[in-house]
Amino acid sequence: MFFVFNKPAVKTIKKLLGRFGESIISFDGKVSVNSFLHIQRYSYVNVYMKWKNDSYYDSIEDIHQSILLKPIIALKNCIARNPNECIPISDVSKRGLQLDVPMKVARFMRQYPSIFEEFTGPQYNLPWFRLTPEAAEIDKDEKRVYKDCREDLQSRLKKMILMTRENVLPLKIIQGMQWYLGLPDDFLQYPERNLDDSFKFVEMEGGLKALAVERREKIFSVMEENAMKKGLIFGGTMEAIEFPLFPSKGLRLRTKIQNWLDEFQKLPYISPYDDFSNLDPNSDIAEKRLIGVLHELLSLFVEHSAERKKLFCLKKYFGLPQKMHRAFERHPHMFYLSFRNNTCSVILKEAYSFDRSAFQKHPLLGVRKKYIKLMKKSQVILKNRRVNNRFSKSSSKQDLDSDNVDKEEHEIAACSAEQVV
């Protein structure tokens, strides 16, 4: 079926449809009704959704202790890589900003006596630090994981780069995401050991050093893999996949937003690894691609979470909209924003649902859990030290008071003897 318009009407419709008008409207002014099915929709209801606190996600230890664990691991690596397995405080005291240490380095290390053991150095009575036996043992486990799971870690890095617009990512961006991907901080320093021949170091505009990946096979996202396992899709393109939703207790969407969300779920799923250059950035289908990219990124990370400001650094290279922060607010059933530790962390709700089989467990997660458990022991050690210090001060004061009393009694006795004489 076709509609026939005059030339001015055709020009107006083409202008409204933009680049899609050329393929939909023929030269003789005929417009196919079926062609309208290919027009990308703009149906989102722009209503502010109030953020609601959820104590379950705010209490996930792996996520919220990770911010403190990161500088601890960085300092631990400085000690472990030293040939003597110990360092003077002067080696790291001026590198606090580089290592993400939130206070003076010496003070920070003394807060974790279960990990860092302090002793007096051989010269000038400077404080030195070495790893405790427990921390040294976990460090060995960590190195073993890096060695045994090198291919898994390499695959996660490759997938992240293949989600970019041109399959290339600056090294400084990769270094900023290494912690979330679970890569050791010296991963890129040994490319012959850690990278296969599909990776290539290149130079971007402005002399920016970057890492590129050659695409050799089709890659399926976590969403696609799970849908194929359930028989919902068959590996084709433009198939509709619904995102799993996990509403927080007491969080309800308004009716018109719920209606929009129901329609949004029925839209075709655009894989983060597919070309997206033909998508209109203001359409619903482009937003579904954005949600798919964020879902896939968080699924690659160790804790399936990241600081929101770190994700913002990826906008330019991943083709994400300038106002991508709205995606977290529009989809509270998928993402949770936690404001603990004076920062905003994005958490993928699906990863912490009752059924966690949808994600492959990161090989480094178990090691980080061991470090966090060891961190807790520091609180007990410091508490016992404070109690012992108070007890020793109290004992010293009692001994001093006792000596004073004995002295006074002796003086009184001497005075009494003189009076008798």
HEC string for 47-113: CCCCCCCCHHHHCCHHHHCHHHHHHHHHHHHHHHCCCCCEEEHHHCCCCCCCCCCCCCHHHHHHCCC
Grouping H, G, I as helix, E, B as strand and the rest as coil, residue 4 is strand
pLDDT attached to residue 36: 34
Direct distance between the N- and C-terminal alpha carbons of the chain, in angstroms, rounded to an integer: 136
pLDDT attached to residue 31: 39
For β-strands 335-338 and 209-213, DSSP reports them as unpaired
In tens, the pLDDT along 3-53 reads 444 555 445 445 444 444 444 444 344 433 333 334 455 555 565 567 788
pLDDT attached to residue 309: 94
Let me know the angle formed at the C-alpha of 212 by 207 and 213, rounded to the nearest 5 degrees: 175
In tens, the pLDDT along 122-173 reads 877 889 999 999 999 999 999 999 999 999 999 999 999 999 999 999 999 9
pLDDT attached to residue 387: 85
381-385, 387-391, 413-417 — which one is most confidently predicted on average? 381-385
Let me know the angle formed at the C-alpha of 294 by 146 and 308, rounded to the nearest 5 degrees: 85
The yes-or-no verdict on residue 248 having pLDDT over 80 is: yes
Q: pLDDT confidence of 278, banded at 50, 70, 90? A: confident
Greater confidence (361 vs 253) lies with 361
Distance CA 75, CA 247 (A): 39
pLDDT attached to residue 205: 87
Greater confidence (22 vs 250) lies with 250
For β-strands 209-213 and 199-203, DSSP reports them as antiparallel
Greater confidence (404 vs 174) lies with 174
Grouping H, G, I as helix, E, B as strand and the rest as coil, residue 182 is coil
How is residue 292 written in tokens? 């798919």
Partner residues linked to 306 by β-bridges? 346
Q: Which helix (H) or strand (E) segment is 391 a member of?
A: helix 365-420
Distance CA 155, CA 295 (A): 17
pLDDT attached to residue 247: 87
Q: pLDDT confidence of 391, banded at 50, 70, 90? A: low
Average pLDDT of the residues in 258-262: 87
Sequence-ordered alpha helix ranges (H) in 103-219: 105-110, 133-148, 150-162, 171-181, 191-194
pLDDT attached to residue 392: 67
Q: pLDDT confidence of 362, banded at 50, 70, 90? A: very high
pLDDT attached to residue 420: 44
pLDDT attached to residue 339: 93
Q: Which amino acid is at 340?
A: R
User: What percent of the chain is modeled with pLDDT above 70?
Assistant: 81
For the chain, give the mean pLDDT: 83
The yes-or-no verdict on residue 321 having pLDDT over 80 is: yes
In tens, the pLDDT along 299-317 reads 999 999 999 999 999 999 9
CA distances (Å), origin 218, targets 103, 223, 237, 290, 348 = 46, 14, 12, 20, 25
Sequence-ordered alpha helix ranges (H) in 170-237: 171-181, 191-194, 222-229
Q: pLDDT confidence of 256, banded at 50, 70, 90? A: confident
pLDDT attached to residue 197: 93
pLDDT attached to residue 397: 56
Residue with tokens 């502010």: 48
Q: Which helix (H) or strand (E) segment is 296 a member of?
A: helix 284-300
* pTM of the model as a whole: 0.81
Average pLDDT of the residues in 106-116: 96
Whether the CB-CB separation of 300 and 229 falls below 8 Å is answered with no
How is residue 384 written in tokens? 């016992």
The yes-or-no verdict on residue 285 having pLDDT over 80 is: yes
CA distances (Å), origin 15, targets 8, 27, 34, 340 = 11, 15, 19, 48
pLDDT attached to residue 46: 65
Handedness of CA 172, 301, 154, 276 (dihedral sign): negative
